[in-house]
Structure 1
Amino acid sequence: MTSDNFKIVSVSSSFIKIEVIDPSLFENQFNIGSYIKIPYKNIENKYVVGVIENYNIKDNNISKGDGIEETISNGPSFVLEVKLTGTMTKFNDSDLFERGGHGIPLPPNNGIELLNEKELNNIYSGKLVENDKFCFSKLVQNVEIDVPVSGNKFFNKHFAIVGSTGSGKSHTVAKILQEALIAKKGSYEGLNNSHIVIFDIHGEYKTAFPQANYIDIQNLVLPYWLLNSEELEELFIETEANDHNQRSAFQEAITSNKKLKSTLDPKLKAKLNYDSPSFFDLNEILIYFKNRNNEQKQKSNTIEWFDLKGEKFIFNEETNHNLFSGILKPVDGATTGTQNARFINFINRLEIKLNDKRLDFLLGDASKKITFIDTIKQFIGYPCKVQNEEGVINKEKSNITIIDLGGIPFEVLSITVSLISRMLFEFGYHSTKLASHEDDCEVPLLLVYEEAHKYVPKSDLVKFRASKNAIERIAKEGRKYGVTLSIVSQRPSEISDTIFSQCNNFVTMRLTNPEDQNYVKKLLPDTLGNLTDSLSTLQSGEALIIGEAIALPSLVKINRCEPEPKSSDIKYFEIWKDPWIDAEIQKVIGLWQK
């Protein structure tokens, strides 16, 4: 390769154009995405580094008129459009790469070369200490080159993985997490200290993590008494003419019942409120509302009842606990100005939900028996005992917890995701207070939201409010308390702007929807020029990685994961060609009815 074969024909602050005068003299292959270096004139061992984003073919025939053309060179030449990414300084066997650049100094130097493998390795790894290297991909243009990222910067900030169906998104998620689970400092035996929670809406990841703590509708126990006020009202109260009275009475009943059931010290018990994570009995709340629905007012404007012993008492804040004990008889009076007959709809809804077997994981007997500590332990992979209708389940410690949301009724999906997310955030928040140093965190958590557009959409509908508020709070505050997010979606344009704006690293795979492509391009924090135009043509398993964790934006091939998630397409036509199969419909319905 000779410098005379290259000519810099245009320079700007972020782009240069380079003409390859005679392609036949070019010794190495170049492609869109190849990296080149341009030496500084009169500055030894310093280079401008750029990536080829495009090239044009320049016709070197000159028309002399009357159909006569004169060739001024050996065939056409090529004009490369190069996006400047940074500078490289050579020190003996190492190359120091600095991201960012401001054009090249005048006059430009034509001593242009492709970066060799050693230089590429130094660019990606040069600033990373060995203990911080985290690798799950190789360079598309040269599969011999590993593309490590900073493990700390990748996981201690939120990151997004987006791509259309079939782009290899699930395999990418699995590979990243598998590499995190096997990473160790030293050669100790057993699990490392990683703690990952996957919200798996399609049941894809069980096969990829056979040793995971797997939770589905059959063994999930989620206590309703840990729901906060917003979640409780979303679950039990519907918007109607009398809903303000329902909300007020609901708050009074729950607060009073929490104090009644609490075993805390009297001073702490007095501080319990509507949002306190303390047990209350939902069946007693139902009894309370049935009593309030029958109340009557005396001439003295008091509401009076006969308790179960037949003794009369005046209903107030000190005596309202009596309404939990059973159906009471009111002292005769007027119904005007009372809640008499105003809670019929609420009582019906509450009874329907309490009798709905699909909601047993949230409202059933097991949810009353599980302790606060075991509730937390089951989600962060610590040994615990969880009891459901089939008996006691002993859970072993695990680095990764998969929450299969596939069987969760849609009407409580948002609340389920909200409660688990909020508990894990609060756990991180309070655990940092116990740390010896302000920046310490003994149990950093990564929460992976598969198909995140299902429960953190841009929509302001009430049914998404709980999960959206919980996850947006983690996006804005979680990093300070050792709780980070991974947002995984095939429709990034449908996800809350607040969520994506907090992501610092992106793994962007093939996107075929123009709206999604444009949305992602606007979110990416770097000016990538034409590199983002390749999003619609990436092959399965290829991705554009960008963000603080990687030395420079790169097109990569994700390494294959082993074992793989269950995300393969069903081979319809091959199955259809097989002989008729008698489906076991009875077994399907039996599973359906559980």
Structure 2
Amino acid sequence: MNEIGQVLLCAPNEITVAIESLKTFEKHKSDLQVGRYLQIAQGNNDYTVAVIRNVRGNTSTNEVGATEWQFVVSCQAVGNLSAANAFERGAVLLPVPTEPVYVPDQETLDTLFAESAEYDFPFGSLSVNKGVTLKISGDRFFSKHIAVVGSTGSGKSCAVARILHDVVGISRKKNSNVGKQRNAHIVIFDVHDEYTAAFTLDKTESFTLNPLDIDSLHLPYWLMNSEELESIFIESNEQNSHNQVSQFKHAVILNKEKHNPGLDVTYDSPVFFSLCEVYNYIENLNREVIGRLDGENHPKLADGKLVTERKNFYFDKIQSFVQQSTAAATKATNGPYNGEFNRFVSRLETKLADRRLKFLLEPKKADGTLYQTGDFEEIMQQFLGYLNKANVTIVDLSGIPFEVLSITVSLISRLIFDFCFHYSKLRHEAELTNDIPVMIVCEEAHNYIPQSDNAAYRSSRKSLERVAKEGRKYGLSLMVVSQRPSVSVRASAY
């Protein structure tokens, strides 16, 4: 090895190396670039490996007036190289001043980045030495949250596709995992439908991609929580929005009880209810007329029947009520919400008639029937069903209407989180480890999880922040890909 200098200063975060000779510096100038490596003796047969952070040159004039150079190289220790030529990341011992410093040869560099049982995932080549392939610990890398950031056109999507190709074993349009079953799952939120082509292989490669778009995606509305339901159906800036929320909540709970007898349901319970029946209920409230004759004081239908329990009459159809009247023989007054829900009812009707929202408001199974509470397993298999699908699911958001984009991302993220949470608990109860890790990839994340607290993005922000804060404990990690790092999921979430 060629000695180039000596240790001048040693600290936990910095090692300073002095190079006294201009000739030596010039000879090894290409090896002293920022980002390259130095090998520093530890007083025995072991070495500290350090990466160069900066290089500084100082000049002075000697007794005869000639200029003399001294170079100071600042390094950061990255690991130890033992006498057995084994590299261990993390420096336990650091060299002291006067220890000799060397430029590592190619054999040493190969040792530093050699593939091992743990460090076996290829992550590219070193920017300062293209001939050295960088291998990282795939388990450690993907068990943490990942951010891929850069300006438009910098190659984020290509970098993400290449990383994910290495995960699932795709290289040059070939599948290296033919005949193998892997338990890891990747769910990609694809805003511009960029990834489908990257993961579509020839049939002979036996790689069955699981693409979901507005025509194949099924997300029953009854899986939405209270915040998601209200964000799609309630306008918070309307004067009577509090009444809309109150009666909509009441109607949803009553309808869930009707369709799920025996269950103790709440507003947030992910069980079936009929949105059409809830619409009927709200419309009947909006038309309601109260009979005011002696002994009545209840909503009164056109046939004279009194409504003592709204849930028994208002869900099935739009009812006809008696006319409002001040006459003594037919006295009747408008109900408390008569005419107040005109805009609310119109909004519900418009949403239900919007064909773009069929995947959410009227999802049907292959046999044409609506999804029910008992179909939850089939719904989850869209994203995590790996028995007859590949482990890569691409959710094409390009066709999703903007007004439900946040809700779609929120609902899928929350379903995956809940699955990982409960599956992890079941495995731990059986004294087993979680064997189904999942990664959610948020492509163009700034489109649906901006930093601003806009009500339109509140549901997706809340769901993904929960993934960022708690997901790793349950085998769920997050890859955020964004043009603007400052407006992605809050840094505190990591």
Match of 2:20 in 1: 21
Provide closer, same or farther for how the CA distance between residues 121 and 334 of structure 1 changes in structure 2, counting only shifts above 3 A: farther
Match of 2:342 in 1: 344
Distance across 1 between alignment mates of 2:403 and 2:38 = 55
Taking only aligned residues, the RMSD between alpha carbons, in angstroms, comes to 2.8
Does residue 276 (structure 1) correspond to residue 269 (structure 2)? The answer is yes
Match of 1:165 in 2: 152
Question: Structure 1 residue 151: deviation in Å?
Answer: 1.6
Please identify, of 450-459 and 355-364, the stretch whose mean Cα deviation from structure 2 is larger. Answer: 355-364
Distance across 2 between alignment mates of 1:175 and 1:20 = 41
Does residue 233 (structure 1) correspond to residue 234 (structure 2)? The answer is no
Provide closer, same or farther for how the CA distance between residues 414 and 23 of structure 1 changes in structure 2, counting only shifts above 3 A: same
Distance across 2 between alignment mates of 1:431 and 1:205 = 28
Aligned identity (percent) is 39
Provide closer, same or farther for how the CA distance between residues 19 and 382 of structure 1 changes in structure 2, counting only shifts above 3 A: closer
The equivalences for 1:111-190 within 5 A come to 111-124=100-113, 130=117, 133-182=120-169, 189-190=179-180
Pick the aligned partner of 1:398 from 390, 393, 398: 390
Distance across 2 between alignment mates of 1:434 and 1:196 = 21
Distance across 2 between alignment mates of 1:221 and 1:140 = 44
Provide closer, same or farther for how the CA distance between residues 10 and 136 of structure 1 changes in structure 2, counting only shifts above 3 A: closer
Distance across 1 between alignment mates of 2:144 and 2:433 = 15
The equivalences for 1:438-457 within 5 A come to 440-457=433-450
Provide closer, same or farther for how the CA distance between residues 166 and 77 of structure 1 changes in structure 2, counting only shifts above 3 A: farther
Provide closer, same or farther for how the CA distance between residues 99 and 359 of structure 1 changes in structure 2, counting only shifts above 3 A: farther
Provide closer, same or farther for how the CA distance between residues 416 and 329 of structure 1 changes in structure 2, counting only shifts above 3 A: same
Match of 1:199 in 2: 189
Distance across 1 between alignment mates of 2:476 and 2:79 = 35
The answer to whether the 8 A contact 1:2-1:111 is kept is no
The equivalences for 1:84-103 within 5 A come to 84-99=76-91
Does residue 79 (structure 1) correspond to residue 68 (structure 2)? The answer is no
The answer to whether the 8 A contact 2:168-2:177 is kept is no
Match for 1:343: what amino acid? F
Structure 2 length-normalised TM: 0.85
Please identify, of 148-157 and 414-423, the stretch whose mean Cα deviation from structure 2 is larger. Answer: 148-157
The equivalences for 1:202-281 within 5 A come to 202-210=192-200, 211-239=208-236, 240-262=238-260, 266-268=261-263, 271-281=264-274
Structure 1 length-normalised TM: 0.71
Pick the aligned partner of 1:470 from 448, 460, 463: 463
SS of the aligned residue for 2:460 comes to: helix
Does residue 289 (structure 1) correspond to residue 282 (structure 2)? The answer is yes
Match for 1:378: what amino acid? Q
Match of 2:328 in 1: none
1:45-87 Cα distance to aligned partner (Å, 9 max, x none): 233332111222333556x9xxxx82244xx4533222x2244
Provide closer, same or farther for how the CA distance between residues 289 and 52 of structure 1 changes in structure 2, counting only shifts above 3 A: same
Distance across 1 between alignment mates of 2:177 and 2:220 = 40
Please identify, of 252-261 and 130-139, the stretch whose mean Cα deviation from structure 2 is larger. Answer: 130-139
Match for 1:320: what amino acid? K
Distance across 2 between alignment mates of 1:411 and 1:276 = 23
Match for 2:382: what amino acid? Q
SS of the aligned residue for 1:314 comes to: coil
Match of 1:539 in 2: none
Match of 1:415 in 2: 407
Distance across 2 between alignment mates of 1:179 and 1:146 = 14
SS of the aligned residue for 1:59 comes to: strand
Match of 1:353 in 2: 351
Does residue 376 (structure 1) correspond to residue 380 (structure 2)? The answer is yes
Distance across 1 between alignment mates of 2:89 and 2:248 = 62
The unaligned stretches of length 5 or more in structure 2 are 171-175, 201-207, 325-330
The answer to whether the 8 A contact 1:225-1:277 is kept is yes
Pick the aligned partner of 1:459 from 440, 452, 472: 452
Match of 1:512 in 2: none
Distance across 1 between alignment mates of 2:446 and 2:221 = 25
1:407-460 Cα distance to aligned partner (Å, 9 max, x none): 111111100100111111111122223325456223221111011121111110
Provide closer, same or farther for how the CA distance between residues 99 and 336 of structure 1 changes in structure 2, counting only shifts above 3 A: farther
Provide closer, same or farther for how the CA distance between residues 314 and 204 of structure 1 changes in structure 2, counting only shifts above 3 A: same
Match of 2:58 in 1: 58
1:166-210 Cα distance to aligned partner (Å, 9 max, x none): 332212211221111129xx9882342221100011111111101
Does residue 6 (structure 1) correspond to residue 5 (structure 2)? The answer is yes
Distance across 2 between alignment mates of 1:350 and 1:293 = 13
Distance across 1 between alignment mates of 2:315 and 2:150 = 53
Distance across 1 between alignment mates of 2:256 and 2:189 = 30
The answer to whether the 8 A contact 2:143-2:475 is kept is yes
The answer to whether the 8 A contact 2:188-2:393 is kept is yes
Distance across 1 between alignment mates of 2:53 and 2:398 = 42
Distance across 1 between alignment mates of 2:298 and 2:149 = 59
Please identify, of 363-372 and 425-434, the stretch whose mean Cα deviation from structure 2 is larger. Answer: 363-372
Match of 1:584 in 2: none
Match of 1:327 in 2: 318
Does residue 312 (structure 1) correspond to residue 305 (structure 2)? The answer is yes
Distance across 2 between alignment mates of 1:34 and 1:369 = 61
Question: Structure 1 residue 363: deviation in Å?
Answer: 1.8
* Count of aligned pairs between the two proteins: 462
The answer to whether the 8 A contact 1:213-1:381 is kept is no
Distance across 2 between alignment mates of 1:132 and 1:32 = 24
Distance across 1 between alignment mates of 2:17 and 2:462 = 50
SS of the aligned residue for 1:78 comes to: strand
Question: Structure 1 residue 19: deviation in Å?
Answer: 3.4
Provide closer, same or farther for how the CA distance between residues 131 and 492 of structure 1 changes in structure 2, counting only shifts above 3 A: same
Match of 2:204 in 1: none
The answer to whether the 8 A contact 2:59-2:67 is kept is no
Provide closer, same or farther for how the CA distance between residues 96 and 363 of structure 1 changes in structure 2, counting only shifts above 3 A: closer
Provide closer, same or farther for how the CA distance between residues 231 and 92 of structure 1 changes in structure 2, counting only shifts above 3 A: same
The answer to whether the 8 A contact 1:381-1:400 is kept is no
Question: Structure 1 residue 484: deviation in Å?
Answer: 1.4
SS of the aligned residue for 2:133 comes to: strand
1:356-396 Cα distance to aligned partner (Å, 9 max, x none): 2222221235387243222211122446xxxxxxxxxxxx4
Match for 1:115: what amino acid? P
Does residue 433 (structure 1) correspond to residue 425 (structure 2)? The answer is yes
SS of the aligned residue for 1:348 comes to: helix
Match for 2:190: what amino acid? D
Distance across 2 between alignment mates of 1:149 and 1:134 = 5
Distance across 1 between alignment mates of 2:242 and 2:364 = 31
Distance across 2 between alignment mates of 1:242 and 1:100 = 66
Match of 2:489 in 1: 496
Match for 1:46: what amino acid? D
Match of 1:36 in 2: 38
Please identify, of 416-425 and 153-162, the stretch whose mean Cα deviation from structure 2 is larger. Answer: 153-162
Match of 1:70 in 2: 65
Provide closer, same or farther for how the CA distance between residues 21 and 421 of structure 1 changes in structure 2, counting only shifts above 3 A: same
Distance across 2 between alignment mates of 1:187 and 1:337 = 66
Distance across 1 between alignment mates of 2:109 and 2:332 = 86
